């Protein structure tokens, strides 16, 4: 059961934001005071009401006052609309869920009514009145609203909602831990030993506390490598009262102290890290919707990249909605996952340039027109990849010629993370085509660990039958043989060149065996000769038996361009 959209009308600075789409990871971007935080607060208010386990009256969907502690009409209804003679004086919020086929059947079994796949819920709040109803058209609407209590119970069994505000405190991290412990310790609290012998409680709980503590430590070290240990302490009074909701989290990053005494940056990271832990531990089919306000707050730029990686991990299983000013957090793969908030409205981004404008990012001149930048290892790769792409695809030819698709040499694969980080800061979508050898794989893994790239942004030049391979391994030797042999006075008709080692290693053995020097300059020139051969005969350049990885790369580029152009 997934959230597919939400709408907000007449709430704080938002006059109207209709059907904001929600995907696995959705980013709300915009300048200060444009309404991003208010949209997230509206979502928090409405989902908080829907997922609250307390019952809502069957009488017209009236919402009891204890649900509305986060709504104040004087504060939350737009001032500019209060003096109007006409028009509603109520804030309204629509939450729309999508059900799977299995959930549609479960809904029928549980509630006794059929759905067509979506469940829209409308919440209306005014001065002293609030109501909730199923916002369906037709004759079935009345029947559904007569079963409102059962419908909400159905939703609450399947959806959990968590909101992490921009000011993240140790108390919020602790609350996440308390929720985890509540679930984990509920098993042993049913044990007769727990009921009959309180003196044994400490021993029974200790393995669970150790397990959860170690899992939290492992999660925190992704953000804070200096963390040596994490320890959860249950207050003794709470333990003997059979409660699990009063805990302290002690973090040792040189000195073991309570998380409440750590700096804002550490507390911010801890809240997000523990939310990831909670999402990984979530049981059964319950779906988590997580909203995070400005996750980059109080963080060093390097930590922001790690936060991006963690939010993407959570989004693989659940849904994450984020407000941010950070270019590094923009979804550069699916541009429609970015929601632009301005002029008191929200709209789906239609281009990367629109996202840049919303964030106030001004990329350098050579990035102005490029919608997608391809990173390759060296200048010869720029030449070869460009020539092959233009020959294999008319669409890619047009994109390259118009500057929509750009090519950049890393001048050494060791520069991959730095290039990716710089392009991230310019909200520049990137895609990489790298050799499939140890240096490239090491650089790729480092970029993933640092959160500056994701796996979908990288293709490797794999060659069938080779453990390690380079772009040159995919090229037919006939394309460059004569030119290379003529310039260096060697012959490639030599046994080492027919081995399964990567191209540069085969060339090195051939050169040395024939009394020729092989150094970095020679290798660079040899690779450029291959590139010149490819540029001269691009249609015949790729070896048919070894071109699969390059074809996959071209398909990935085409898909990326499609996702960036709405």
Tokens representing 378? 């060296």
User: Are 153 and 168 members of one domain?
Assistant: no
Number of domains observed in the structure of the chain: 3
Q: Which residue has the tokens 């796949």?
A: 117
Tokens representing 77? 């209804």
Residue 179 is predicted with a pLDDT of 60
Q: Residue 461: which of 369, 399, 528, 547 has the closest Cα?
A: 547
User: Are 419 and 381 members of one domain?
Assistant: yes
User: Are 136 and 177 members of one domain?
Assistant: no
Helices (H), 224-263: 236-240
CA distance 472 to 534: 10
pLDDT in tens, 95-119: 999 999 999 999 999 999 989 899 9
Q: If pLDDT is split at 50, 70 and 90, which confidence band does 365 have?
A: very low
User: Are 306 and 391 members of one domain?
Assistant: no
pLDDT at 89 over 60: yes
pLDDT in tens, 201-255: 677 777 878 887 887 788 777 767 778 888 887 765 444 444 444 677 788 888 8
State which H helix or E strand residue 250 sits in.
Answer: strand 247-252
Would residue 253 count as lying in a domain?
Answer: yes
User: Are 299 and 406 members of one domain?
Assistant: no
Q: Show contacts of 393-399: CB within 8 Å, 24+ apart.
A: 393/554, 393/558, 395/558, 395/561, 396/554, 396/557, 396/558, 399/371, 399/372, 399/561
Write the CA distances from 359 to 297, 326, 371, integer angstroms: 16, 8, 16
Would residue 348 count as lying in a domain?
Answer: no
User: Are 301 and 378 members of one domain?
Assistant: no
Residue 317 is predicted with a pLDDT of 85
Portion of the chain with pLDDT greater than 70, in percent = 84
Average pLDDT of span 177-206: 62
pTM over 0.85, yes/no: no
Portion of the chain with pLDDT greater than 90, in percent = 44
Residue 245 is predicted with a pLDDT of 46
Write the CA distances from 381 to 37, 356, 403, integer angstroms: 44, 29, 18
| Residue ranges making up the domain that contains 54 | 2-158
Residue 468 is predicted with a pLDDT of 96
**What separation, in Å, do the N-terminal and C-terminal C-alpha atoms of the chain show?**
26
Q: Tell me the average pLDDT of the chain.
A: 84
Residue 250 is predicted with a pLDDT of 85
pLDDT in tens, 500-513: 999 999 999 999 99
User: Are 320 and 369 members of one domain?
Assistant: no
Task: Name the phi and psi angles at 124, rounded to 5.
Answer: -125, 130
pLDDT in tens, 501-560: 999 999 999 999 999 999 999 999 999 999 999 999 999 999 999 999 999 999 999 999
Q: Show contacts of 99-106: CB within 8 Å, 24+ apart.
A: 99/1, 100/1, 103/1, 103/158, 106/154
pLDDT at 322 over 90: yes
pLDDT in tens, 266-283: 777 777 777 777 666 654
pLDDT at 35 over 90: no
Residue 241 is predicted with a pLDDT of 44
Would residue 249 count as lying in a domain?
Answer: yes
User: Are 432 and 322 members of one domain?
Assistant: no
């Amino acid at each position: 059961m997934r959230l597919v959209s939400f709408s907000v009308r007449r709430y704080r600075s938002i006059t109207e934001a209709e059907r904001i789409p929600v995907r696995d990871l959705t980013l709300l971007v915009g300048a200060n005071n444009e309404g991003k935080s208010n949209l997230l607060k509206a979502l928090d208010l409405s989902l908080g009401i829907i997922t609250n386990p307390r019952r809502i009256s069957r009488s017209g969907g009236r919402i009891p006052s204890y649900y509305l502690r986060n709504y104040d009409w004087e504060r939350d209804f737009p001032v500019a609309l209060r003096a109007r003679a006409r028009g509603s004086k109520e804030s309204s919020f629509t939450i729309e869920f999508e059900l799977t086929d299995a959930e549609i059947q479960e809904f029928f079994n549980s509630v006794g009514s059929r759905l067509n796949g979506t469940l829209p819920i409308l919440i209306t709040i005014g001065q002293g009145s609030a109501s909730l109803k199923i916002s369906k058209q037709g004759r079935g609407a009345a029947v559904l609203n007569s079963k409102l209590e059962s419908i909400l119970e159905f939703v609450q069994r399947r959806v959990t909602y968590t909101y992490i505000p921009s000011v993240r405190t140790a108390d919020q991290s602790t609350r996440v831990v308390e929720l985890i412990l509540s679930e984990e310790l509920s098993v042993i609290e049913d044990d007769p030993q727990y009921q009959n012998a309180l003196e044994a409680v400490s021993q029974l709980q200790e393995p669970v506390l150790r397990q959860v503590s170690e899992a939290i430590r492992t999660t925190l070290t992704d953000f804070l490598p200096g963390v040596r240990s994490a320890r959860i302490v249950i207050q003794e009074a709470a333990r003997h009262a059979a409660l699990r909701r009063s805990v302290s989290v002690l973090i040792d990053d040189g000195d073991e102290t309570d998380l409440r005494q750590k700096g804002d940056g550490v507390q911010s990271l801890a809240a997000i890290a523990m939310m990831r832990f909670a999402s990984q531990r979530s049981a059964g089919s319950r779906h988590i919707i997580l909203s995070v306000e400005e996750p980059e707050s109080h963080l060093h730029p390097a930590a922001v990249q790690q936060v991006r990686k963690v939010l993407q991990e959570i989004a693989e299983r659940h849904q994450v909605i984020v407000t941010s000013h950070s270019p590094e957090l923009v979804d550069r793969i699916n541009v429609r996952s970015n929601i632009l908030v301005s002029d008191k409205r929200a709209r789906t981004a239609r281009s990367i340039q629109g996202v840049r404008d919303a964030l106030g990012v001004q990329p350098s001149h050579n990035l102005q027109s490029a919608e997608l930048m391809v990173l390759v290892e060296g200048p010869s790769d720029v030449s070869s990849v460009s020539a092959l792409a233009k020959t294999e695809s008319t669409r890619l030819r047009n994109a390259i010629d118009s500057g929509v698709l750009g090519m950049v040499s890393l001048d050494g694969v060791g520069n991959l993370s730095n290039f990716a980080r710089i392009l991230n800061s310019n909200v520049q979508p990137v895609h990489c085509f790298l050799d499939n050898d140890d240096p490239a794989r090491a650089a790729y893994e480092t970029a993933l660990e640092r959160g500056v790239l994701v796996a979908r942004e990288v293709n490797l030049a794999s060659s069938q039958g080779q453990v390690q391979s380079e772009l040159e391994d995919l090229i037919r030797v006939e394309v460059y043989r004569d030119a290379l042999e003529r310039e260096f006075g060697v012959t490639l008709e030599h046994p080492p060149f027919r081995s399964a080692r990567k191209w540069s290693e085969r060339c090195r053995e051939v050169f040395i065996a024939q009394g020729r020097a092989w150094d970095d300059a020679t290798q660079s020139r040899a690779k450029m000769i291959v590139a010149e051969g490819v540029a001269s005969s691009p249609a015949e350049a790729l070896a048919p038996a070894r071109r699969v990885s390059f074809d996959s790369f071209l398909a990935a580029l085409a898909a990326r361009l499609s996702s960036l152009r709405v």
